[in-house]
Amino acid sequence: MVGTNVVDRAADDESIAEWERHAGWWHREFTGGVDVEYAEQILPLIDASLPSSGRVLDLGSGDGQVTRLATARAGLAVGVDAVRAQVERAAALGGGSFVQARLSELPLRSASCRAVVACLVLEHVSDLDAAFAEAARVLEPDGRLVAVINHPILQTPGSGWIDDQVVDPPEQYWRIGPYLPEVTTVEEVDDGVDLTFHHRPLHRYVNGASACGLLLEYLEEPAPPPAYLERYWSFPAADTVPRLALLRFRNLP
């Protein structure tokens, strides 16, 4: 069943085309255990948030690494991704059912999922409200939405480490870029890999979900895992700056 939201499909077309071009990069760099943040933090956090039974829907499933985790945990999982190259790769790897669709138009019956997971995908979707509305529609009453997002306060566009050797003594600190404005940026995340991100302040996530009957019941802001700090962030106090936030919402009956 297709959702009834009026959505601006064109707004996501370019972003989906970018992911189509860069799906291979994602598979090489972030799946199959090669990314320390996924291996040490993201997948264990999601695993701990999943129900032990019922159908789990994985939004923006990529190559299906979260879907497979959900299948192992709950027994039944479906991955949805708008990008053909992602769905084909996920289907080849197996461990769940995979469907090509947008978050704003989920091809699932209402109240048919015990849990919905959205791991690092909401930032790529232009219509956040449509994504929440669809997640709420397909969730059973009391079902949960687990969203992992780039930390919306600390990872704003323009954030990053400043290594100031001009002041005496030198200072190293985390600069936070403009937080309140909602902005869309195209970022070069690797050589030749440009992706669209939508920055939104935290209240947009909490209130957008709430407007669809999804109540925030748990928030986690983990320190970057040790292997990540060792490999990429050798700054003092780097373990005080979260990169991610996990939000768990309950679908009010």
Ligand X SMILES: C[S@@+](CC[C@H](N)C(=O)[O-])C[C@H]1O[C@@H](n2cnc3c(N)ncnc32)[C@H](O)[C@@H]1O
Residue with tokens 């790769």: 89
Closer Cβ to ligand X, 25 or 235, answer by number: 25
Q: Is 134 in the site for ligand X (CB under 6 A)?
A: no
* Torsion sign across C-alpha atoms 73, 86, 24, 197: negative
Min dist. Cβ of residue 114 to ligand X (A): 18
Name the residue type at position 65: Q
Positions in 42-101 near ligand X (CB under 6 A): 60-62, 65-66, 81-83, 86
The pairing of beta strand 113-119 with beta strand 55-59: parallel
For helices 84-93 and 10-30, what crossing angle results, to 10°?
Answer: 40
Closer Cβ to ligand X, 12 or 159, answer by number: 12
Closer Cβ to ligand X, 192 or 253, answer by number: 192
- Distance of alpha carbon 205 from the chain centroid: 12
Closer Cβ to ligand X, 99 or 215, answer by number: 99
The gap between the terminal CA atoms of the chain, to the nearest Å, is: 20
List, in sequence order, every residue forming a beta bridge with 115; answer none if it has no partner: 56, 144
Q: Which stretch binds ligand X (CB under 6 A): 13-21, 152-160, 213-221, 232-240?
A: 13-21
Q: Total residues at the site for ligand X (CB under 6 A)? A: 22
Q: What angle do CA 76, 78, 83 make, to 5 degrees?
A: 160
Min dist. Cβ of residue 123 to ligand X (A): 8
Min dist. Cβ of residue 166 to ligand X (A): 36
Q: Is 132 in the site for ligand X (CB under 6 A)?
A: no
Q: Is 16 in the site for ligand X (CB under 6 A)?
A: yes
Judge whether 81 and 12 are in contact, CB under 8 Å: no
Judge whether 239 and 221 are in contact, CB under 8 Å: no
Binds ligand X by CB under 6 A, chosen from 69, 77, 108, 119:
119
Closer Cβ to ligand X, 62 or 224, answer by number: 62
Q: Which stretch binds ligand X (CB under 6 A): 116-124, 160-168, 216-224, 236-244?
A: 116-124
Q: Measuring CA to CA, how many Å separate 237 from each of 88, 153, 169, 223, 229?
A: 41, 17, 16, 10, 10
Closer Cβ to ligand X, 106 or 214, answer by number: 106
Q: Which two tokens stand for residue 223?
A: 């320190």
Which residues contribute to the site for ligand X (CB under 6 A)? Answer: 12, 15-16, 19, 26, 31, 60-62, 65-66, 81-83, 86, 102-103, 119-121, 124-125
